[in-house]
Amino acid sequence: MKKFLLIALLAVPATGCEKAVAERPAAHPAAKVNGTEISIHEVRAGSAAAAAQALEKVIDRELLVQKALAEKLDRDPRVLDSIENARRQLLAQAYLERAASAAGGGTRDEVRAFYAENPALFAERRLYRLRELVVSAPAEMIDVLRAEAAKAAELEDLAAWLRSRNAKHSVDSLTQPAEQLPLSFLPRLARMQPGEIAVFATPLGASVIQLVHAEDAPLTEQQAAPLIEQFLAGRRRLERAAAEVKRLREAATIEYVGEFKRSN
């Protein structure tokens, strides 16, 4: 809980060098903390209320930074390592974003093809009301779980079976449109009738879904086009970023040493 409290306290909508460094000019200050100006650019957050709330978080952060500097935490080797790692991560991310920035959205033909290839997301889109049993289980247990699910009339029957075997699980109710569910679930969900139960393998075990209700909520190609373009643009940026990393690796001389040394 303390960790999340600290994250919430320090989370602010803008990034930048810490204000306690005296050389940083602030053309339009929003506040002063022990004489150090906080720029209004750091608290731009839409509405006046949101900006005021963001300013309070920046002030809290500034007070903590000033105290950390006063106690010379900026010279602590562990802090220096963290700062350097964060700096290098930001530089790497900035380069990838610039390298991938030229990636545009999909063409009209690509949008049309994606729409046609994914009817469960668009033309046959549905809104699902579900009960979900999330199970932590090894892969070899999935087939046994499917066999038990085929015999169960209600999700509670399966939950009781899991409890008898001390299997870790949790039950939840949710209402989700098709696009917010895993794509691999949709073909099976589209064929299910209310009350029916299905088991889907997941990286950590299984998701057991009981369909409570489903209603049609289709999107026309025109309605879906902005969403598809956004998805295709994001996918293209990821592909460009991966290609750039691959290009840099191929052009670089990389030598693994010590315990990481690789034999030919």
Residue 169 structure tokens: 């699980």
- Entry pTM: 0.58
Question: Domain segments of the chain: what residues?
Answer: 2-100, 124-216
The C-alpha atoms of residue 68 and residue 222 are separated, in whole angstroms, by 54
- For residues 241 and 99, the answer to whether their CB atoms sit within 8 Å is yes
Quick: pLDDT tens for 222-234.
999 999 998 998 8
Helix (H, G, I), strand (E, B) or coil at 43: helix
Provide the H-helix boundaries in the chain.
Answer: 2-10, 48-70, 77-100, 108-117, 142-151, 155-164, 186-191, 221-251
The C-alpha atoms of residue 103 and residue 124 are separated, in whole angstroms, by 29
pLDDT along the chain (264 residues), means of 10: 39 44 55 80 72 87 93 94 95 90 78 93 94 88 89 90 88 93 90 93 92 95 92 89 92 88 74
pLDDT at site 220: 95
- For residues 81 and 88, the answer to whether their CB atoms sit within 8 Å is no
Helix (H, G, I), strand (E, B) or coil at 176: strand
On whether the 124-216 domain is CATH 3.30.70, my answer is no
